[in-house]
Amino acid sequence: MTMNLFKNLHAMKKISMLIMASFLLVSTACAYESHDSKGAKSSATGELSNMKISIQITSESGNHTLTAMIENNYSALAFYELLKKGSVTISMHDYGSFEKVGSLGKTLPRNDTQITTSAGDIILYQGNQITIYYDTNSWNFTRLGKVDGVTQAELKKILGKGDVTAVFEIAE
pLDDT in tens, 51-79: 899 999 999 999 999 999 999 999 999 99
Considering the entire predicted model, what is its pTM? 0.72
Cα-based distances in Å from 163 to 50, 63, 109: 30, 13, 26
* Amino acid 50: pLDDT: 74
Report the alpha-carbon angle 20-24-26, nearest 5. Answer: 115
Taking only the tens place, the pLDDT of each residue in 7-27 is 665 555 665 544 544 443 333
Taking only the tens place, the pLDDT of each residue in 27-54 is 333 333 333 333 333 344 445 557 899 9
Q: Which residue has the higher pLDDT, 12 or 125?
A: 125
Separation between Cα atoms, residue 87 and residue 48, nearest integer Å: 18
* Amino acid 34: pLDDT: 37
Please report which helix (H) or strand (E) contains residue 21, including its range. helix 2-31
Would you place residue 172 in the very low, low, confident or very high pLDDT band (cuts 50, 70, 90)?
confident
With CA atoms as reference, report the closest residue to 156 among 133, 126, 123, 127: 133
With CA atoms as reference, report the closest residue to 77 among 45, 108, 42: 45
